[in-house]
Amino acid sequence: MKKVFFAIMAIAGISSLAAQSAAEKGLQIAKAAEQADLGFGSSTVKLKMTLKNKNGQTSERYLETRTLELTEDGDKSLIVFNSPKDVKGTSTLTFTHKTGSDDQWLFLPSIKRVKRISSNNKSGPFVGSEFAYEDLSSQEVEKYTYKFLEEKGNLLVVEQDPVDPKSGYTRRVVTYNKDKGYRFEKVEFYDRKNALLKTLTYSDYKLYQGKYWRALTFNMVNHQSNKETLLKFEEYNFNVALSDEDFTQVALQRAGQ
Burial class (CB in 10 A: 0-12, 13-18, 19+), 76: buried
CA distance 46 to 68: 15
| 63 lies in the binding site for other proteins (CB under 8 A) | no
Which residue in 112, 150, 163, 211 binds other proteins (CB under 8 A)?
112
Asked, as a colleague might, if the bond just before 109 is cis with ω within 30 of 0, I would say: no
What part of residues 182-201 is at the interface with other proteins (CB under 8 A)?
191
CB closer to other proteins out of 29 and 47 = 47
Judged by CB under 8 A, the stretch of 18-26, 67-75, 79-87, 144-152 that binds other proteins is: 79-87
| 98 lies in the binding site for other proteins (CB under 8 A) | no
Least separation in angstroms between residue 232's CB and other proteins is 17
- Residue 20 CB partners (closer than 8 Å, separation 6+): 28
CA distance 144 to 32: 15
x-or-dash pattern for other proteins, window 41-60, by CB under 8 A?
----------x-x-----xx
Burial class (CB in 10 A: 0-12, 13-18, 19+), 54: exposed
| 256 lies in the binding site for other proteins (CB under 8 A) | no
x-or-dash pattern for other proteins, window 117-136, by CB under 8 A?
xx-xx-xxx-xx--------
DSSP state at residue 4? H
| 173 lies in the binding site for other proteins (CB under 8 A) | no
What part of residues 208-227 is at the interface with other proteins (CB under 8 A)?
225
| 17 lies in the binding site for other proteins (CB under 8 A) | no
Least separation in angstroms between residue 36's CB and other proteins is 29
Which residue in 31, 54, 98, 116 binds other proteins (CB under 8 A)?
116
CA separation, residue 29 to residues 32, 75, 138, 177, 203 (Å) = 5, 20, 17, 10, 20
CA distance 117 to 91: 12
What is the β-pairing status of strands 144-152 and 113-117?
unpaired
Chain residues that interact with other proteins, rule: CB under 8 A: 51, 53, 59-60, 83-88, 101, 103, 111-118, 120-121, 123-125, 127-128, 168, 191, 225, 240, 243-245, 248-251, 254-255, 257
